[in-house]
Structure 1
Amino acid sequence: MKDSEIKFKINLDDSNLPKSITWDATDKEADGYESTKSISLNVWDNLNQSTLRIDLWTDEMSVAEMKRFYIDVIGGMAQTILNSTGDEYMSEEMKELCDRLVSHVNEENAKS
């Protein structure tokens, strides 16, 4: 058995808002910390039977990027629920939501 670590470093401004976010992981291809504009971390709190969430983003992340990020997150969760539970209905509903959200974002972009 081996240990694997994922580390995040958050640089905060005077108002405690993220100015920069970097991350590193023992199992990623490149060595050293890499920059990112946003993280979304969800942890199951077994004691309280609830989800703990940390959502952080820098002011460099555009609205369009944020929308794309969360569509990708939901799509990834759809695949995870399928892989972990075999629940095709729930996975398909989530994928269909992603499709609707992509259409919504595309319509917004066409208006701009």
Structure 2
Amino acid sequence: MIKSSIVIDVDLDENRVPENIEWRASESTAEAPQKAKAMMVGFWDGQEKTALRIDLWTQKMMVDEMADFYYQTFITMADTFDRATRQTELVNEMKAFANSFIDKFREIQMRDNKAS
């Protein structure tokens, strides 16, 4: 059996707010730890039938970056669900929501920028 590890290091400020996120994986070709402004990790407890999520972001994460991060996460979640279930109808709905989400975000941003 091959074992693979992912290590995530989070530097916190005095209020325990993430200042820096770095990760490295044993199977990665990258030699240095990779920096990230945000992360989402999910675990499924099959016995309890519950999800555990760890969502962190640094103060450097901009609102437009967060919207892009969520949009891309929705799309990749749909792709993963497709590979796992082949439920095309649901996958298409998830992707439609993702597209609606990013379009609505951009619309709000433009409206707020005009108001400023």
- Give TM-score scaled by structure 2 length: 0.91
- CA–CA distance in structure 2, aligned partners of residues 43 and 74 of structure 1: 17
Map residues 25-104 of structure 1 onto 2, 5 A cutoff: 25-104=25-104
Q: Could you tell me which runs of 5 or more consecutive residues in structure 2 were left unpaired when the two chains were aligned.
A: none
Q: Could you tell me which runs of 5 or more consecutive residues in structure 1 were left unpaired when the two chains were aligned.
A: none
Deviations 1:8-54 (A, max 9, x none): 00001111111110000112221121111000001001221110010
Q: CA deviation at 1:109?
A: 3.3
SS at 1:103's partner residue? helix
Please tell me whether residue 7 in structure 1 is matched to residue 7 in structure 2: yes
Aligned residue-pair number: 112
Identity %: 30
Structure 1 runs (4+) greater than 4 angstroms displaced:
none
Q: 1:107 maps to which residue?
A: 107
- CA–CA distance in structure 1, aligned partners of residues 108 and 43 of structure 2: 32
